[in-house]
Structures are given as C-alpha cells and as structure tokens.
C-alpha cells in the first residue's frame, strides 16, 4: 500500500513498485544510520570527507564493476592534423556479486553540475541508489553524460563549459531551501542531516561534488541521442532513471529508440516546456526561454508533424505565483508525441523542492500530448534527493 503522503495516478505498475521499494520500504535506512553502520566507523565518525579514512568501511553492495566508452566518432583536428574521438558516453557496469535476478537493466542519468557518482553513495557515506537496486538483483549502468566528468570531450570548442554551482546556490537550492524561503513549500524541508553550512563535513562533501557542465545543450542532446541508443542496443530494453536536467536524455531516447526503453523514472525532471525555472517568482534568476521543441532543444517527433519549433503554437493562461509557477502548453488541438507515448513515464517530486512549484508543467504537457504519466509526490525532501534522506511513510 502506498503511503498517505504520496499522490499518483490510478494505475499501479512495475515502475511504481520499483521506485517505492527505495523511497518507502527502505526509508528507515535513509532516516538514520543503523547500528551496523555505526560499528563500522572508528569513533563513530566517518561522515562526509572523513569517510576517506581507510578504517571506514564502505556501505556499497558487493558487485563486479567494469567501464566502457560507448558511441562517438573520429573527427580530424585541422590544427593537430590527427583524429579525435568525440561524442562518446562513459558507462559503468555494476553487476550484483550474487548474480542478476531481474529481466531489465537500470540505466542512471545524473543531473546538471554532477556526474554518475551521485548514485553510488550519499554525502555522509551511506549506500546510494545503485547499491539498493544491486541488492534487488538488477544490473545497474551508471553514465557520465557527454561533456561531463569522465565523458569530458576533446572537442573543446564544441562543448564549452559553464560553472555547475556555488556553495551558496547549493545551500539555498538544495541543502536548506527553507533559509531563503523563496517559495512557501520550502518550509516543509526536513531531510538534510547536518547544518547545511560551509565547514559542516557533510555539506562540504556535498558541495565538493559539483562540476562544470556544457552550455551547448544542442550538441549534447545530439550526442546523447546517438550514444544512448547505442548503449541500449548493446544491453537490451532497460529502465531509465534520471534526475533533473538529466531527464532530457530519456525523453530523447524514448523518441529515437522507444523499443529499447522499458520505462522512464524521472526524479524532478527539468524538462519544463519551452522555459527554464531556477528558484521561483521571488528568485533573481527566475524564468528563461528554453527548449524550443517543448521538452527538448532538438527535434522530437510530433503528430501531426512539426517541421520547425515555430509550428508548435503555445498558450500560457495561468497565474504565476511563488507557490505555483505558470506553464506553457500547446494550443488546442495539441500535437501528439507518438514515439514518447510508447514508453511508460513516471515523475517524482519532493514536496519541499522548488520543483513542487512547476513540475506540473512537465506532467500536464506530456498528458496533453497523449503520454501516460504517473506522478508521485514525496514528503519532506529537496531537489537532489538521490543524495538525500527519505522519511517514514507514517504520519
């Protein structure tokens, strides 16, 4: 039975059971360290960066690990007069030590300003999502998206970089949104384990993980579409689990190779139609125009066909408030998304995150275009809750 603090569509499917095993059944593990974990820590303290101590025992599930570079192509550098490999995807393959017990692999897509390591453990060194799904017998694939982390590109001009985050942004947008109080739901946040300030070992470990990301989203989308479908062609139909801006890539793969996508599970998808939100109406950053194809920067399949972004007629008739941001939708009659609609889609939103004010834009846009969507809302958490702390389902 689903906890009372969650809201979702009427149909219960495997994707719901899958994600709720982590978010609900295992929530006491996220709420506080267990006795076994405490015993593994010298003097009871391996939090944050202190976990590098060799006496601190890893909480990761036993597994076999390999890495691969998937996709890409050779291009001739006219200055070096040599060939460079570009547009390749970095992939880690994690197989449970006790063997695979599930039919479909899981592929994890990180968000902006981060890399695939976010799925391995939390900033205070507890096991991450990868380990929980390894415990369930899944083959797990963790990627670094093209231009990011270990998929950094030698085509420097084609993949220019921008700053991922500052410590101050990490605090007010992720670790302690209630301090800035930019939207009323921020006061519901309960799930950061430390003080969320510079100098706190857990916050320092969290802030240290931010890395640059590319500003050329069109190039990244094109390379992720090609390399992502190449990966799925090698491993077979898979569930795609994404966070934030990483949710663009499962949308692209659903459009390009839907038969290879078993389902999309999207944690606070940053695919807000035709625009981007950072913070809310009281934020100095606020709203920017983005994603001319609705959910993406590059072309996706509509029915009737859209040959250019200008073919997509839009409306915005909603009031914009800090608690509920306005959305841009298609004007009626809305074009359908026939390829994307072939893949089951789930969105998950934390009630204290800025996304609680605008994720309805993504959900309603997809539904308007004929995509079946389940939407689950989780209590107490913040935006980056693959690093965060779930609460018990009891009230």
Distances (CA, A) of 65 to 101, 116, 198, 241: 17, 14, 34, 19
| Helix axis angle, 217-235 to 248-256, nearest 10° | 60
Taking phi over 0 as left and psi of -120 to 50 as alpha, with beta for the rest, 81 belongs to left
CA–CA separation, 8 and 219 (whole Å): 35
Q: Is 356 exposed, middle or buried (0-12, 13-18, 19+ CB in 10 A)?
A: buried
The answer to whether the peptide bond before residue 382 is cis (omega within 30 degrees of 0) is no
Residue 275's φ and ψ, nearest 5 degrees, are -160, 165
Q: Residues 244, 276, 326, 392: which is the catalytic one?
A: 244
**Collapsed DSSP state (helix, strand, coil) of residue 2:** coil
**CA atoms of 302 and 291, how far apart (whole Å):** 15
Pairing of the two strands 275-278 and 261-267: unpaired
Q: What is the DSSP string of 303-370?
A: BS--SSGGGS-EE--SPP-SSS----EEPSSPPB-TTGGGS-EEEEEETTSGGGGTHHHHHHHHHHTT
Q: What angle do CA 237, 241, 242 make, to 5 degrees?
A: 130
* Cα-based angle 302, 222, 266 (whole degrees, multiple of 5): 70
- Does the annotation count 244 as an active-site position? yes
Distance, in Å, from the CA atom of 318 to the CA atom of 314, rounded to the nearest integer, reads 13
* Distances in whole angstroms, Cα of residue 39 to Cα of each of 22, 57, 348, 389, 393: 23, 9, 34, 20, 27
Dump the DSSP string for 238-269: EEEEEEGGGGHHHHHHHHH-GGGEEEEEEES-
Percentages helix, strand, coil for the chain (3-state, rounded to 5) are 30, 20, 45
Write out the catalytic residue numbers. Answer: 244
């Amino acid at each position: 039975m689903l906890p009372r603090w969650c809201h979702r569509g009427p149909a219960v499917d495997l994707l719901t059971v899958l994600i709720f095993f982590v978010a609900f059944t295992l929530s006491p593990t996220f709420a506080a360290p267990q006795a076994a974990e405490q015993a593994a820590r010298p003097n009871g303290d391996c939090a944050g960066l202190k976990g590098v101590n060799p006496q601190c025992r890893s909480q990761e599930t036993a597994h076999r690990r390999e890495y691969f570079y998937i996709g890409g192509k050779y291009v001739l550098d006219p200055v070096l007069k040599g060939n460079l490999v570009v547009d390749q995807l970095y992939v880690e393959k994690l197989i449970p030590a006790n063997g695979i017990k599930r039919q479909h692999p899981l592929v994890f897509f990180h968000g902006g300003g981060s890399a695939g390591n976010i799925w391995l453990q939390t900033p205070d060194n507890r096991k991450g999502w990868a380990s929980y799904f390894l415990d369930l017998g899944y083959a797990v694939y963790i990627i670094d998206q093209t231009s990011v982390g270990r998929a950094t590109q030698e085509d420097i001009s084609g993949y220019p970089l921008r700053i991922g985050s500052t410590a101050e942004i990490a605090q007010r947008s992720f670790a302690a949104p209630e301090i800035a109080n930019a939207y009323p739901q921020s006061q519901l946040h309960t799930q950061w384990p430390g003080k969320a300030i510079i100098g706190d070992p857990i916050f320092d470990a969290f802030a240290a993980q931010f890395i640059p990301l590319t500003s050329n989203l069109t190039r990244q989308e094109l390379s992720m579409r090609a390399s992502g479908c190449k990966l799925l062609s090698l491993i077979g139909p898979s569930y795609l689990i994404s966070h934030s801006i990483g949710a663009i890539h499962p949308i692209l793969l659903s459009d390009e190779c839907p038969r290879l996508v078993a389902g999309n599970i999207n944690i606070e998808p940053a695919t807000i139609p035709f625009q981007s939100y950072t913070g809310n109406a009281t934020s100095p950053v606020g709203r920017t125009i983005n994603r001319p194809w609705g959910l993406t920067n590059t072309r996706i399949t509509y029915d009737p066909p859209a040959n250019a972004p200008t073919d997509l007629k839009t409306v915005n008739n909603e009031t914009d408030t800090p608690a509920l941001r306005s959305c841009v939708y298609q004007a009626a009659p809305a074009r359908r998304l026939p390829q994307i609609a072939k893949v089951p889609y789930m969105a998950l939103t934390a009630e204290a995150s800025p996304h609680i004010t605008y994720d309805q834009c993504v959900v309603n846009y997809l539904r308007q275009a004929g995509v079946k969507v389940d939407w689950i809302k989780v209590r107490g958490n913040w935006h980056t809750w693959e690093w965060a702390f779930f609460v018990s389902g009891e009230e």
